[in-house]
A and B are shown apart, each in its own frame.
Chain A
Amino acid sequence: MTENQDVPILKPIRDVGIVGYGAYIPRYRLPAREVARVWKAGTGGLSIEEKAVAGLDEDVITMSIEAARNALDRADIDPSEIRAVWVGSESHPYAVKPTSTVVAESIGATPHTQAADWEFACKAGTEAMQAAIGFVGSDMAHFALAIGMDTAQGRPGDPLEYTAAAGGAAFLLGPAEISLAVIEGSYSYATDTPDFFRRAEEKYPEHGERFTGEPAYFKHITSAAETLMQAMDSSPSDFQHVIFHQPNTKFPKRVGRLLGFTDEQIKTGLLVPIIGNVYAGSSLVGLTAVLDVAEPDERILLVSYGSGAGSDAMSLRTTTLLPERRDRAPKTYDYISRRTEIDYATYARYHGKITMK
């Protein structure tokens, strides 16, 4: 198989766009220095400042409901017209029983709707988005809702515990004519790469050390981004904003430079230093932060990454409908600035790391 030669990008028959979007980030923050205090007596380099942590009564279902309500407030459509509610996550509250049906019921999308949960590590949200593009683009549906949301967990003391965070975003896909951002095209790149995994019965994930950097994150993101840009006859300078999956601060900045993007293009969508890695929501809250401030007719490149491994790349162009719609619901930074710092003991209690019986 040859790479990049006449690879068709994913483009639906009917043009599709984002009609409404909504972010959700919980209130609590665990500073990285607090994790270091407990496990490393305050020493060691910290890759982020702090991470967002879900409250005792929050999970992927409740967080998805709020993000979905924000997306609907922006779209201002009748929720009974939504024909698909798809939630991508690696922390669905139930092993068997969909997250999506509770979300669909809460927003008034039931019963004439598809409902399903998606999984593919940190790219479960973007793949739900791509499927929604297909659903609307084929005219099977007028509206489809795609969500990427996680309450990520790391084993106590593991490097992941500094960054594994909670948050995500919802996107209502619909006809391009009524969209605040039009999807110009997308492309997916996937291989069998064992960089990170969690067996079905295990609580915490494992990482295959040798695989985490070059052959995984960097290879998949650069391949997806380069193929999409080439197929669309575009180059990095054609985009005002670029958003990558952000497991830490270093990786997205480095992959951006590798591809020829400037720090300026990455800046607006880079939230990992202040909220952590929200897994399936990671690149998606980056996108909501960009949509919160972008001007009409700006181009945005979004590239997710999911361990296992794969990347979805998407090119978007904002429309004149964006400025009026973004003020209809709380913005990404409204959630980020609502901040209550917690200590490690409270964090342990919130996340069931203390066994009480």
Chain B
Amino acid sequence: MEISRHWRLKRQRYALIGEVCPHCQKKIFPPRDICPECSEDARTLYQFSGRGEVYSYTTVYQAPSGYEANAPYTVALVKLVEGPMLTAQLTDLGDEPIEVGMPVEMVTRKLRSDGERGMLVYGYKFRPRLIEASE
């Protein structure tokens, strides 16, 4: 699929880079160049910590094309400690039960591959925090 689109999105996808509003300090993800809070211009890049918690989640059994190999998998709404909410797959759950409020952290993983010959697409997922105490 569109290789150029993957390339433009890679910074936000690989490393959770969003924006911070220089006027009201609101942290923005995904980046949209306009602050949703005060409607001013907001183009300052901001590196999110990657820490957050599960706000809600659901398990996907019938995966869309390109994601079949991972099914079943869990998709969650994750609330980042900096404020924004985003949708992402959970990974490395092991035998741990998922709970609302569970602390998670961002990892960069393989999201999908466009067949045997296509490109591998990498991006953020979230896993249970490796070290419980980490803020």
Contacts and interface: CB of A to CB of B under 8 A. Distances in A.
Contact of A57 (B14, B125, B130): B125
B69 A56 contact: yes
Interface in A103-120: 105-108
Q: How many A residues are at the interface, by size bracket? A: 20 to 34
B101 to A, nearest CB: 20
B59 interface: no
Interface stretch (B18-26, B30-38, B103-111): B103-111
A240 interface: no
B91 interface: yes
Interface in B80-135: 91-92, 94-95, 107-111, 120, 122, 125, 130-131
B15 interface: yes
A235 interface: no
Chain B binding surface, main DSSP class: mixed
A102 B110 contact: no
Given A330-B131, A334-B131, A62 B122 contact: yes
Given A27-B92, A334-B131, A338-B130, A57 B111 contact: yes
Nearest to B109: A57
B70 A107 contact: no
Interface in B34-88: 47, 69-70
Contact of B120 (A55, A56, A93, A105): A93
A94 B120 contact: yes
Contacts of A105: 10-11, 14-15
Contact of B108 (A106, A334, A335): A106
Nearest to B120: A93
A27 B94 contact: yes
Interface in A305-346: 330, 334-335, 338, 340
Contacts of A57: 70, 91, 109-111, 125
A104 B110 CA distance: 16
A292 interface: no
Contacts of B120: 59, 61, 93-94
Contacts of B108: 62, 65-66, 106
Nearest to A357: B116
B130 A340 contact: no
Nearest to B15: A106
Given A27-B94, A102-B14, 17 more contacts: A55-B91, A55-B109, A56-B70, A57-B125, A58-B110, A59-B120, A65-B108, A66-B108, A102-B122, A105-B11, A105-B14, A108-B15, A330-B130, A334-B131, A335-B130, A338-B130, A340-B95
Interface of B: 10-11, 14-15, 47, 69-70, 91-92, 94-95, 107-111, 120, 122, 125, 130-131
25 contacts: A27-B94, A55-B91, A55-B92, A56-B110, A57-B91, A57-B111, A57-B125, A61-B110, A61-B120, A62-B107, A62-B108, A62-B109, A62-B110, A94-B120, A105-B10, A106-B15, A106-B108, A106-B122, A108-B47, A330-B130, A330-B131, A334-B131, A335-B130, A338-B94, A340-B94
Interface of A: 27, 55-59, 61-62, 65-66, 93-94, 102, 105-108, 330, 334-335, 338, 340
